[in-house]
Amino acid sequence: MADTFTEEEIEIKGKTAIHGTLTIPSSQQTERFPAVLFLAGSGPIDRNGNGPKGKYQFNLYKELAERIAGFGFVTFRYDKRGTGRSKEKLVSAGLWDLVEDAEESYLFLKNHPNVDPARIVVLGHSEGTIIGTALSERQEIGGLLLASGGAANLNEFLSFQRKLSYKELMNAKGLKGLLARKLVNVEKQEMKVQKWTDKMIHSNKDVYKVLFFFKQPAKWMREHFAYDTRSALRKLDCPVMAISGDKDPLVEPELIGELPSLVKGPSASYYIKDMEHGLRVQHEERSILKAKKMYSKLVERPLSPEGLEAISQWLNTHFKEGVSVDH
């Protein structure tokens, strides 16, 4: 494990300006290391893994990047559109805009003098698992790490979240459960969702306004719903790892079990006990309706030791078979 590392503020001047943080293990300047590119989850998430309001500073990507740099990896994490130093608008961005940003960042790492271009791992978290999978169709990446995601696309993620919400509502105790069972018609709710989704998908606009005021990312949803993640995974012959927690209320953790039947190369799936969507320790029951209420507790908790160990072992097994040096 590297004792120390240096951090550097980076601006990539491509089609759009990308601002991020590069960490490099302290070493001789001639050394070339394996590298990890971080791809953030959905919404306005900055390079460190935090939202724009700043109430809860989880720093998921910052903490992971520093830990992985400690293993002897270069890491790069960047501000998603509409966050941090980015001047771009997120609401009008589609899936492929986000993939372009990921590709620019990948090419930056590939051409960096301290990076071994054959050993670049793409680490996607949540929506980032889809973006990372899409990136693998454009570039010959060294490895793919899917954290709190996996084989599913956005439509499947959202469908799972709604089903879990309905189930929790119907099983709720007391007056809340009684009213839900009497007043909530799941079939009608799904019809409303489908009607709203159809409007977004069949729109030719980047941004769709609901009730004339509320902006919705129509392009983003349209492109996500059309993307086939499993088809892309079937083309992969590099090492692929998927990790999910049994307390994750946002994605269906069991779907990572599909990985061995999809990818051509070596695969590993880790289903971690007492780990939630942000990879932190959670002993409480999984609940999508109480997820936001859990933030005040989760922000004080460590990342799952079992999850970190799984990531560490996989990275070191596949990408630390010696450090290449320029002569």
Q: What is the mean pLDDT of each run of 10 residues along the chain (327 residues)?
A: 80 94 81 95 95 86 96 96 93 96 98 96 98 98 96 94 93 86 89 88 86 82 96 96 96 89 95 97 96 94 98 95 44
What is the largest distance, in Å, between two alpha-carbon atoms of the chain?
74
User: What pLDDT, on a 0 to 100 scale, did the predictor assign at position 325?
Assistant: 39
321 Cβ neighbours under 8 A, 6+ residues apart: none
User: By C-alpha distance, which of 50, 45, 62 is closest to 5?
Assistant: 62
Q: Looking at the DSSP assignment, which residues form a beta bridge with residue 209? A: 215
Per this entry, what is the length of the chain?
327
Q: Of the CATH numbers 3.40.50.880, 3.40.50.2300, 3.50.50.60, 3.40.50.1820, which one belongs to the domain with range 5-153+228-325? A: 3.40.50.1820
121 Cβ neighbours under 8 A, 6+ residues apart: 34, 35, 36, 37, 73, 141, 142, 143, 144, 145, 315, 319
CB 114 within 8 A of CB 73: no
User: What pLDDT, on a 0 to 100 scale, did the predictor assign at position 42?
Assistant: 94
**Distance (Å, rounded) from C-alpha 129 to C-alpha 275?**
17
Q: Structural domain boundaries of the chain?
A: 5-153+228-325, 154-226
CB 93 within 8 A of CB 117: no
Give the SS3 label for residue 285: coil
pTM of the model: 0.93
User: By C-alpha distance, which of 244, 245, 242, 231 is closest to 267?
Assistant: 242
CB 229 within 8 A of CB 130: yes
**How distant is the alpha carbon of residue 137 from its chain centre?**
17
Per DSSP, the chain holds a count of helices (H) and strands (E) of 11, 11
User: What pLDDT, on a 0 to 100 scale, did the predictor assign at position 321?
Assistant: 63
